[in-house]
């Protein structure tokens, strides 16, 4: 049963906001997953936190969902090309490990990262290497239907035979033959044509190789997502997600081959959702721009993984977000304040859905007694229904925590409800765990400045015998994890 406001989502297909109407009892979600050849950096994490928010939104509405996240352990060539070396094979050579070791190691680090970020596990994590026979069958069917041609470098999909090619990317009729690529492939009919099967070059023996009607080789990168999603979610399913970088090429090609394969005249997947890029100090994260921090780097610097999650949720998923030290510091400070405040409210009730939250509101003879709490729940529902507006939910949560008119019982429900969608783990986060930085030397200069300004204000308030204000400031400092001690020489401070 669906509750609350109509869920509206921004569909990349058509670039417009749409009511979300499930087509089945269980909503199928396919989220393009990691290529497991290196550590995932912080920018790589955004699509998974975004897809997690989508899942939480559906759960909130009482809509059952099943999510598949693929693990690309073969087929993804360097620079997303058709003829380059396989990323996994290259990493194996670089690290002097086997391809299996590389894939297993980086799959585990990916899973560790999303777990640390409180991303709900997918229902299935299929690995591309497990589906190669099905991929060969899929490509053979496309060949049978006349969508392909063979070149020495492999089997190619002829995009000129795909009537709506490039609709997702808004490629125009002229542009659709150009596609987004620059790679030269001898004999390719249209620039946008892509490899379904990448044949071994004469004299080169790939490490990961399968025999196929088009010779020994490996599948093209786009093929796995069509094959595994259909195998695990059925030929049509409701939602496909990914980073916005997939909107121009990878997803365009997934659609072309899938609709050719199905041939039923229906759109393969009706809703396509993409999250924007994470910028690093205002610059696009490109592979060439030097090392991009990983979650482990942030944690090592004393940030809690939930501070990064909160930073991500503080921006709308369709807006670019700029990762700077100041921004993460601010998120960490917000998380610390939230946790400090919520600790006093524990235990929080278990809430996953709007219906549960409404049922838990304090009542008086059947009527909701806490109007303020009811209004916050309504606002939280309105926010998530409006294309997953997490910044609004965060703002509502903070507002409710400052509201003198809400009952403690009602506030508990509101906090639990907000966190059912935000997934910050507020029911159990340890405020001391949130800030493991013990030494003031680790603080950012801006943080030290804030602390010292507050201490000066407190000293002034005490001079003026304004004890109320002095206590307020002390509480504020405590929320920042700062312990003030008054000595004869004046106040000193340390991190708790
Ligand atoms: Zn994909």
Measure 253 CA to ligand 1 centroid, in angstroms. Answer: 9
pLDDT at 173 over 60: no
Using N-to-C axis directions, what is the helix angle for 371-385 and 42-60, rounded to 10°? 120
Give 486 Cα–ligand 1 centroid separation in angstroms. 59
Q: Residue 8: beta bridge partners?
A: 19, 386
Would you tell me how many other CB atoms lie within 10 Å of the CB of residue 342?
23
Q: What average pLDDT score do residues 157-175 get?
A: 81
Of the spans 209-213, 445-449, 463-467, which averages the highest pLDDT? 209-213
Distance from residue 361's CA to the centre of ligand 1 (Å): 42
pLDDT above 90: residue 427: yes
Distance of CA 395 to the CA centre of its chain: 20
Task: Identify the band that residue 268 occupies on the pLDDT scale cut at 50, 70 and 90.
Answer: very high
Q: Is the pLDDT of residue 94 over 80?
A: yes
What is the mean pLDDT of the segment spanning 449-476? 89
Compute the distance from residue 316 Cα to the ligand 1 centre, in Å: 23
Characterise 7 by phi-psi region: left (phi > 0), alpha (psi -120 to 50), beta (else): beta
Q: Which tens digit of pLDDT belongs to each residue from 351-380?
A: 999 999 999 999 999 888 999 999 999 999
The residue-averaged pLDDT of 386-397 equals 98
Query: Highest-confidence range of 41-50, 91-100, 201-210, 276-285, by mean pLDDT?
Result: 41-50
pLDDT (tens digit, 9 = 90+) per residue, 453-466? 999 999 999 999 99
The pTM assigned to this predicted structure is: 0.87
Calculate what percentage of the chain has a pLDDT beyond 90: 69
Concatenated DSSP letters of 211-240: --TT-SEEE-TTHHHHHHHHHHH-SS-SEE
CA–centroid distance, 176 to ligand 1, in Å, is 20
DSSP 211: -
Q: What's the gap in Å between 374 CA and the centre of ligand 1?
A: 41
What's the gap in Å between 434 CA and the centre of ligand 1? 34
Give the separation between CA 115 and CA 170, rounded to whole angstroms.
35
How many angstroms separate the alpha carbon of residue 348 from the centre of ligand 1? 38
- The tokens for 65 are 């969902």
The predicted model gives 322-342 an average pLDDT of 92
C-alpha 430 – ligand 1 centre gap (Å): 37
Ligand 1 centroid to Cα of residue 385, in Å, is 26
Q: Where are the alpha helices (DSSP H) in 96-237?
A: 99-116, 132-144, 223-233
Ligand 1: centre distance to CA 407 (Å): 47
**What pLDDT sits at residue 1?**
47
| Beta-carbon neighbours within 5 Å of ion ligand 1 | 32, 225
Residue 474 clears pLDDT 90, i.e. is over it: no
- CA angle (274 as vertex; 270, 278 as ends), nearest 5: 175
What pLDDT score does 288 carry? 44
* Cα-to-centroid distance, 225 and ligand 1 (Å): 5
274 alpha carbon – ligand 1 mean position (Å): 12
Q: Residue 17 Cα, ligand 1 centroid: separation in angstroms?
A: 23
Q: How far apart are CA 406 and CA 396, in angstroms?
A: 13
Cα 122 to averaged position of ligand 1 atoms, centre (Å): 15
Q: What is the pLDDT of residue 20?
A: 98
Contact status, residue 422 vs residue 313, Cβ threshold 8 Å: yes
- 255 CA distance to ligand 1 middle (Å): 10
Ligand 1 center from residue 157 Cα (angstroms): 17
Residue 303's pLDDT band, with cuts at 50, 70 and 90, is very high
For the segment 209-224, the average pLDDT, to the nearest whole number, is 94
Q: How far is the CA of 125 from the centre of ligand 1 (A)?
A: 13
Question: Could you give the maximum distance between any two Cα atoms of the chain, in Å?
Answer: 89
Question: Measured in angstroms, how far is the CA atom of residue 456 from the centroid of ligand 1?
Answer: 55
Q: Separation of 365 CA from ligand 1 center, angstroms?
A: 53
Residue 175 Cα to ligand 1 middle (Å): 22
- pLDDT at residue 298, rounded to an integer: 92
Instruction: Give the confidence band of 169 by pLDDT, cuts at 50, 70, 90.
Output: confident
Most confident option among 32-36, 185-189, 390-394: 390-394
Residue 331's closest CA among 306, 349, 353? Answer: 306
Burial category of 194 from C-beta neighbours within 10 Å (exposed 0-12, middle 13-18, buried 19 and up): buried
Ligand 1: centre distance to CA 34 (Å): 9
**Percent of the chain beyond pLDDT 70?**
94
Q: Where are the beta strands (DSSP E) in 244-368?
A: 271-275, 278-280, 283-284, 321-323, 363-364, 367-368
- Distance from residue 489's CA to the centre of ligand 1 (Å): 63
pLDDT value at 111 more than 80: yes
């Amino acid at each position: 049963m669906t509750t609350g406001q109509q869920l509206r989502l921004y569909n990349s297909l058509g670039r417009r906001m749409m009511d979300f109407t499930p087509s089945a009892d269980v909503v199928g979600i396919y989220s393009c997953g990691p290529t497991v050849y290196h550590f995932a950096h912080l920018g790589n994490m955004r699509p998974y936190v975004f897809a997690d928010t989508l899942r939480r939104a559906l759960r909130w509405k009482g809509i059952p969902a099943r999510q598949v996240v693929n693990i690309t352990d073969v087929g993804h060539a360097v620079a997303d090309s058709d003829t380059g070396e396989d990323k996994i094979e290259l990493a194996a050579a670089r690290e002097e490990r086997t391809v299996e070791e590389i894939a297993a190691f980086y799959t585990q680090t990916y899973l560790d990262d999303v777990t640390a970020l409180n991303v709900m596990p997918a229902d299935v994590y299929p690995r591309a290497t497990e589906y190669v026979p099905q991929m060969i069958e899929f490509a053979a069917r496309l060949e049978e239907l006349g969508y392909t041609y063979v070149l020495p470098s492999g089997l190619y999909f002829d995009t000129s035979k795909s009537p709506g090619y490039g609709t997702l990317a808004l490629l125009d009729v002229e542009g659709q033959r150009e596609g987004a690529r620059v790679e030269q492939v001898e004999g390719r009919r249209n620039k946008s044509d892509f490899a379904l099967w990448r044949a071994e070059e004469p004299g080169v023996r790939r490490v990961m190789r399968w025999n196929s009607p088009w010779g020994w080789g490996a599948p093209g990168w786009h093929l796995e997502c069509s094959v595994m999603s259909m195998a695990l979610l059925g030929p049509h399913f409701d939602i496909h997600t990914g980073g916005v970088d997939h909107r121009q090429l990878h997803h365009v090609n997934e659609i072309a081959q899938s609709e050719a394969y199905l041939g039923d005249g229906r759109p393969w997947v009706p809703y396509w959702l993409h999250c924007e890029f994470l910028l690093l100090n205002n610059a696009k994260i490109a592979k060439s721009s030097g090392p991009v921090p990983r979650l482990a780097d942030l944690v090592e610097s004393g940030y809690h993984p939930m501070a990064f999650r909160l930073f991500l949720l503080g921006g709308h998923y369709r807006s670019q977000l700029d990762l700077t030290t100041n921004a993460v510091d601010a998120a960490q400070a917000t998380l610390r304040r939230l946790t400090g405040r919520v600790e006093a409210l524990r235990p929080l009730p278990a809430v996953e859905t709007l219906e549960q939250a409404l049922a838990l509101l304090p009542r008086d003879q059947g009527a909701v007694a806490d109007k303020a709490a009811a209004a916050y729940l309504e606002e939280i529902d309105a926010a998530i229904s409006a294309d997953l507006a997490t910044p609004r939910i965060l703002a509502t949560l903070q507002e409710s925590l400052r509201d003198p008119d809400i009952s403690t019982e009602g506030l508990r429900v509101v906090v639990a409800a907000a966190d059912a969608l935000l997934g910050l783990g507020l029911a159990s986060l340890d405020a001391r765990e949130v800030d493991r930085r013990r030494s003031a030397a680790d603080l950012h200069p801006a943080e030290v400045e804030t602390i010292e300004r507050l201490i000066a204000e407190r000293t002034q308030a005490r001079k003026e015998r304004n004890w109320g204000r002095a206590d307020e400031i002390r509480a504020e400092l405590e929320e920042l994890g700062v312990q003030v001690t008054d000595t004869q020489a004046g106040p000193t401070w340390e991190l708790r």
